Structure 1
Amino acid sequence: MLSCIVIDDEPLALNLLKGYVESTPFLRLVAACTNAIAAFEILEKETVDLIFTDIQMPNLSGMELSKMILNQKTKVIFTTAFEEFALEGYKVNAIDYLVKPISYSEFFTAANKAKQQMLQTSNQAPIDDYIFVKSDYKLMKIDLKDLIYVEGLKDYLKFYTVHSEKPILTLKSMKSLEEELSKKQFMRVHRSFMVNLKKITTIERNRIVFGDTYIPVSDKYKEAFLKFVNSDFQ
């Protein structure tokens, strides 16, 4: 299942793309945006696999948006009424370039091409042992082996690591991080907390103890956590 965003400033075109996404079994619609700025704000918080975007839009074009995306895993398919943008689209490594009016068969073929490329990449690439997060207008590298736990605070996350006295603060949702990190090493144990399972040494009642910090295990996640404790925890 690929998560996706559709972007178009024309309501009819936007509704058509939404309908196409909803008709495609391997696509999940995250948002439908009437401008690229709104889409960029979502991309700052969510990990999205695929973007279908028009090119000519007010304030920020789809082409400009594609150049601003920091997550290299996010792929782009352009949808536009102008064929002359095709060459520029391929220069930014777009998966495909669809010229309006777009039929469902054309849409499906492009979406399937994205799916096949991502499957091929995931099969070839090793699992990353680090992540990059945006903090204070910089990209900060976090080695997963050094990450102890993550705390959620509204739209922000705090990353607590072995070598950093202060947490690293970034604008990101806990849900998107949960999808990004390996479930074998990290587990969400509370609405506001995700922990590195390999860093756990002490559990007191329904709390995980990291030094002077006590992290609660909520009822929603207790069953999965206890399963880990009973089978894997030494």
Structure 2
Amino acid sequence: MIQCLIVDDEPIALDILESYVRKTPFLELKGKCNGVLEALQQMQDQSIDLLFLDIQMPDVNGIEFSRTLNDKVKVIFTTAFEQYALEGFKVNALDYLLKPFNYQEFLKAAMKAKTWFDMVENKSSPSTAVTKDSILVNSEYKLVKIDLKDILYFEGLKDYVKIFTAGATRPVMSLMSLKTLEEQLPADQFMRVHRSYIVNLDKINTIERSAIHIEKASIPIADKYKDAFNDFLSRRFLR
């Protein structure tokens, strides 16, 4: 169960949100507050996982309040003002509900929260899915679809994987296992060459000694994977 707190200075909005939370089986309502100061008091007395948080309130702005929260408390903003959407995502909100919203819209946002908490609890991404053409991953509290043909390589970093794509200024980062990812990727296109790297075989520019060069990146080939990589070279180029 995800422990929730509703924060809104409008009584009608509080009542609507309460009804939505109570009819959602994986959410547990721990309280509803008419402002940030009351929310702070309730959060001192009990553990809260998720806030449904209004933005424009008389005591403290919801976005500013969200910046004070620790990483374990996630936020779904609820507001009547569309101009706050970009600011909301800059502070890593799970979602942004624009009033008036119906239960279907609420449930969609709540499911994002469930996906996030499942992912953190299991140390993997249950929503990671690979098809013959694309991969769907959780990144920065949203689902991101990436075409396989655009991927240069994957880099494992503890519990995270960085996905480097052609033309992107920074990688997509997702909480998942490189081993699990390796099992899902098409073996004729991607290969594990190091404990920390999976490369797109079609993106290799040059091979030099024990390193693969893809664009500006130099990726080491570990001894454990050399035989499999050499077999790939033989099959593709030396027949």
TM-score (norm 1): 0.52
- Report the residue type matching 1:44 in the other structure: Q
- Report the residue type matching 2:68 in the other structure: M
Structure 1 residue 16, shift from structure 2 partner: 0.3
Structure 1 residue 45, shift from structure 2 partner: 2.9
Larger radius of gyration: 2
The structure showing larger relative contact order (alpha-carbon pairs under 8 Å, at least 6 residues apart) is 1
Equivalence for 1:52: 52
Per-residue CA deviations over 1:76-131 (Å, capped at 9, x if unaligned) read 00000001000000011000000000100000110111011110111118xxxxxx
**What is the SS of the residue equivalent to 1:19?**
helix
Q: How many angstroms apart in 2 are the aligned matches of 1:69 and 1:45?
A: 15
Q: How many angstroms apart in 2 are the aligned matches of 1:94 and 1:44?
A: 21
- Aligned runs of 1:212-223 on 2, under 5 Å? none
Equivalence for 1:116: 115
Per-residue CA deviations over 1:17-69 (Å, capped at 9, x if unaligned) read 00000110111000100111100122223221110011000111211211111
Equivalence for 2:94: 95
**What is the SS of the residue equivalent to 2:67?**
helix
Q: Percent identity?
A: 49
**What is the SS of the residue equivalent to 1:30?**
strand
Which consecutive residues of structure 2, in runs of 5 or more, have no partner in the other structure? 125-239
Equivalence for 2:76: 77
| Contact kept in structure 2, 1:40 and 1:65, CA below 8 Å | no
Moved over 2 A (4+): none
Per-residue CA deviations over 1:118-167 (Å, capped at 9, x if unaligned) read 10111118xxxxxxxxxxxxxxxxxxxxxxxxxxxxxxxxxxxxxxxxxx
Which consecutive residues of structure 1, in runs of 5 or more, have no partner in the other structure? 126-234
Equivalence for 1:16: 16
Equivalence for 1:2: 2
Q: How many angstroms apart in 2 are the aligned matches of 1:74 and 1:115?
A: 13
> Please, which moves more after superposition, 29-38 or 58-67?
58-67
> Please, which moves more after superposition, 33-42 or 76-85?
33-42
- Aligned runs of 1:154-173 on 2, under 5 Å? none
Q: How many angstroms apart in 1 are the aligned matches of 2:66 and 2:44?
A: 13
**What is the SS of the residue equivalent to 2:76?**
strand
**What is the SS of the residue equivalent to 2:31?**
strand
Equivalence for 2:129: none
Q: How many angstroms apart in 2 are the aligned matches of 1:11 and 1:42?
A: 18
**What is the SS of the residue equivalent to 1:69?**
coil
Query: Please, what is the CA RMSD of the aligned residues?
Result: 1.1
Q: How many angstroms apart in 1 are the aligned matches of 2:23 and 2:85?
A: 26
Equivalence for 2:139: none
**What is the SS of the residue equivalent to 1:68?**
coil
- Report the residue type matching 1:63 in the other structure: I
**What is the SS of the residue equivalent to 1:9?**
coil
**What is the SS of the residue equivalent to 1:28?**
strand
Equivalence for 1:32: 32
Q: How many angstroms apart in 1 are the aligned matches of 2:41 and 2:64?
A: 14
| Aligned length in residues | 124
**What is the SS of the residue equivalent to 1:56?**
coil
